[in-house]
Chains A and B, each alone.
Chain A
């Protein structure tokens, strides 16, 4: 994956930011994994391990930085695409659109891969840190987050399918190229939408598992006289963030439903 990233990184807007933040997050999750291992060893030897367990759990928040920098790069690539579409010179338009589409088809699956890898590292860190007391917040977040697995798979397949389609039409007659790409876009979109439609059910399913684990948890409250302020704060933040993301998605949904005026006709190359 690193080879692929380094091979295409020049085609991505704000490449340094994207690469730097992504590798930083992976390093953070790796550190969380080591901290989780340290915690487990300390708990086993009876020395306790609460401080590093807290770091292992909090490191999951760092994963959010990957979609944020991917969004910045995507926004820049889309601005390039829209700028290129309005160019009157066909050669400049093709060159600009090609670069912008390639950038988007690299950024999306790459961010998806990086998030999956970071989540896997964090999951192992959580599992290792679990013997320490507490950790319910992180466990609930991890379990409910698993419900997004179909979406991550869908995004990965969407990117792979389109990248292969674009590679396959190199040198093909213009009309045939449009037909092949059109079919590929239709298939990829249908598959992505159907996997995204599964997510509410998988989220509900993993949420039900989390609730069941909470109901079956017979341990004493830890630490004693715990106020639960951290959990209420996490719940409040989750609601605020959910509302913010919902409103952020609205213009994107509108964009996808918009009927645009046709761009200037595409000339065969």
Chain B
């Protein structure tokens, strides 16, 4: 495998890692909106 091919594949891993970090952030905050709404209903101001 050439250096360029290795470089491209390593770049690909890096970009997928960035994507996975964004998914982590979106899913966490998406789920926590439900938590926030339930707290608001139960206790008033969150």
Residues of chain A at the chain B interface (Cβ within 8 Å): 67, 71, 74, 78, 81-82, 85, 97, 101, 104-105, 108, 136-137, 140-141, 143-145, 147-148, 151, 155, 158, 162, 178, 181-182, 185, 188-189, 192-193, 196, 199-200, 203-204, 207, 210-211, 214-215, 217-221, 226, 228, 231-232, 234-236, 238-239, 241-243, 245-246, 248-249, 252-253, 255-256, 258-263, 265-266
Contacts and interface: CB of A to CB of B under 8 A. Distances in A.
Interface in B9-46: 9-46
A156 to B, nearest CB: 11
Contacts, number: 180
Contacts of A236: 15
16 contacts: A81-B41, A143-B13, A144-B20, A193-B32, A211-B10, A214-B10, A232-B8, A234-B12, A235-B14, A238-B12, A239-B15, A241-B22, A243-B22, A252-B26, A255-B33, A255-B36
Query: How extensive is the interface on chain B, given as a class?
Result: 35 or more
B37 A238 contact: no
A155 B14 CA distance: 25
A200 B35 contact: no
A248 B39 CA distance: 23
A108 B31 contact: yes
A214 B41 contact: no
Contacts of B41: 81, 85, 97, 101, 263, 266
A258 B46 contact: yes
